[in-house]
């Protein structure tokens, strides 16, 4: 390699683990090539990277811990170079609220389909994952959104768990990082509509995931604050409440378990280590699957919008970038490497954006309805309205008055 700097697409943690599994070069082709999209990638010197990823057990754990630190907002804030870069990052990933007009203009004549991550997007990040409730105001907003646009929740959580927080039967749900997809439930009965399960590509891993869950519970017992969450087709090991000086111990515990399970891989979220099957399935694949299920597989007239805050959401942002359709919105207060086009700072801004989208759609439907009505009246065709080809459905018309 002759280049002085390399682009780091994966976190140091993922790279360390990939090395442990494959023992191959850390400089993959993908990692060397910047994407042909504006900005968002952080460069670090090759020397530093090599120091960080020294191939011996001890230093490898250090790189895990560095990566765990990097997922902490407080550590990001302390980094002057990132803080200084905030305004240039915002130029590359402007606020979706500031760009609202441009966004709606770009969607003109296309069907918007909404994909929403849960934690950190619809609900604020809290210490206890079992108490990450979304507000009633956010729920009401998402309910309205789903009346106007097909809407899916795409989460790392177990699907039933995320449903228990959202409680809107009319949505699509993709739990376990997209490995458990279910369509809207008829008659608002989520629990009874097992027939609407659409896709579970990792079902053969269920016994293994349960086994590893039990082992991790036992292994991490000695680390105060560590919490293992069973997300059905994947697992989360939380370190938000673990003292930083014990992070390396926790990383070591997880690593020692995973050594025995080469069919499982590790990724990282916000103060959480995510363990999942090595199958080629992620939130990006779930997005593609859902678009296909909705009948938009090879359709140019679709405009998917994906909003998420996490590294795992990057797979979906990338799919949209590669397809050149719609775009991703990263929820973050700090500059992050991302394939999203736009940004929002926090869940309250997500709610503002969704509300504006609902209002914009409502008004544009009303405008279309009035134009149609005027055209009919002008032509003296009012009595023939019932026989006319419906340009706007009765439901659309009702919604303009809602």
Ligand X SMILES: O=P(O)(O)OC[C@H]1O[C@H](O[C@H]2O[C@H](CO)[C@@H](O)[C@H](O)[C@H]2O)[C@H](O)[C@@H](O)[C@@H]1O
Please identify every residue annotated as catalytic.
Answer: 117
Site for ligand X in 111-130 (CB under 6 A): 117-120, 125-127, 129
Distance, C-alpha 148 to centroid of its chain? 21
Q: How far is residue 165's CA from residue 135's CA, in Å, rounded to a whole number?
A: 10
> Residue 59 contacts by C-beta under 8 Å, 6 or more apart in sequence?
52, 53
Q: Does 377 bind ligand X (CB under 6 A)?
A: no
Site string (142-171) toward ligand X, x via CB under 6 A: -------------xxx--------------
* For ligand X, the closer CB: 93 or 227: 227
Residue with tokens 């050594």: 259
Q: How far is residue 315's CA from residue 117's CA, in Å, rounded to a whole number?
A: 12
Q: Does 180 bind ligand X (CB under 6 A)?
A: no
Residue nearest ligand X, Cβ-based: 156
**Would you tell me how many other CB atoms lie within 10 Å of the CB of residue 273?**
27
# of chain residues touching ligand X (CB under 6 A): 24
Q: How far is residue 223's CA from residue 220's CA, in Å, rounded to a whole number?
A: 5
Q: Does 255 bind ligand X (CB under 6 A)?
A: no
Query: Which stretch, 4-12, 140-148, 270-278, 293-301, contacts ligand X (CB under 6 A)?
Result: 270-278
Q: Does 282 bind ligand X (CB under 6 A)?
A: no
Beta partners for residue 329, in sequence order: 307, 342
* Phi-psi category of residue 260: left, alpha or beta, with phi > 0 → left and psi -120 to 50 → alpha: alpha
Query: Which stretch, 4-12, 206-214, 234-242, 354-362, contacts ligand X (CB under 6 A)?
Result: 234-242
Q: Does 229 bind ligand X (CB under 6 A)?
A: yes
Q: Does 110 bind ligand X (CB under 6 A)?
A: no
Q: Does 14 bind ligand X (CB under 6 A)?
A: no
Min dist CB 116 to ligand X, Å, is 9
H helices within 279-381, ranges in order? Answer: 283-293, 314-323, 347-378
Q: How far is residue 210's CA from residue 261's CA, in Å, rounded to a whole number?
A: 13
Min dist CB 216 to ligand X, Å, is 13
Contact residues for ligand X, defined by CB under 6 A: 117-120, 125-127, 129, 132, 155-157, 229, 231, 236, 238, 240, 269-272, 274, 310, 312
């Amino acid at each position: 390699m002759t280049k002085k700097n390399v682009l780091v697409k994966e976190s140091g943690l993922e790279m360390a683990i990939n090395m442990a599994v494959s023992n191959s070069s850390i400089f993959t082709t993908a990692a060397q090539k910047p994407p042909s999209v504006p900005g968002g990638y952080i460069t670090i010197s090759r020397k530093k990277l090599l120091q960080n990823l020294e191939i011996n057990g001890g230093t490898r754990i250090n790189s895990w811990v560095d990566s765990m630190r990097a997922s902490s907002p407080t550590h990001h804030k302390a980094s002057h170079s990132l803080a200084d870069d905030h305004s240039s990052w915002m130029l590359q990933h402007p606020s979706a609220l500031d760009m609202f007009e441009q966004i709606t203009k770009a969607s003109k004549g296309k069907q918007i389909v909404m994909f929403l991550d849960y934690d950190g997007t619809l609900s604020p990040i809290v210490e206890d994952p079992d108490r990450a409730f979304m507000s009633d105001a956010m729920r009401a907003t998402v309910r309205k959104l789903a009346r106007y646009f097909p809407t899916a929740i795409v989460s790392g959580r177990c699907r039933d768990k995320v449903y228990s927080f959202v409680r809107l039967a009319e949505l699509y749900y993709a739990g376990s990082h997209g490995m458990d997809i279910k369509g809207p439930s008829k008659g608002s009965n989520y629990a009874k509509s097992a027939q609407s399960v659409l896709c579970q590509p990792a079902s053969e891993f269920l016994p293994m995931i349960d086994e590893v869950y039990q082992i991790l519970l036992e292994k991490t017992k000695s680390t105060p604050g560590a919490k293992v969450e069973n997300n059905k087709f994947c697992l989360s090991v939380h370190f938000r409440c673990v003292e930083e000086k014990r992070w390396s111990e926790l990383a070591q515990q997880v690593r020692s378990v995973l050594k025995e399970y080469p069919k499982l891989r590790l990724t990282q979220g916000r103060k959480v280590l995510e363990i999942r099957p090595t199958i080629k399935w992620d939130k990006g694949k779930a997005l593609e699957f859902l678009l296909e299920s909705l009948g938009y597989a090879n359709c140019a007239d679709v405009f998917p919008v994906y909003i998420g805050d996490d590294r795992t959401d990057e797979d979906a942002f990338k799919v949209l970038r590669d397809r050149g359709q719609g775009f991703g919105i990263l929820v973050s207060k700090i500059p992050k490497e991302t394939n999203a086009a736009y940004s929002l700072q926090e869940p309250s801004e997500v709610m503002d954006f969704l509300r504006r989208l609902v209002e914009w759609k409502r008004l544009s439907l009303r405008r279309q309805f009035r134009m149609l009505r005027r055209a009919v009246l002008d032509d003296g065709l009012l009595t023939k309205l019932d026989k006319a080809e419906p340009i706007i459905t009765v439901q659309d018309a009702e919604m303009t008055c809602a």
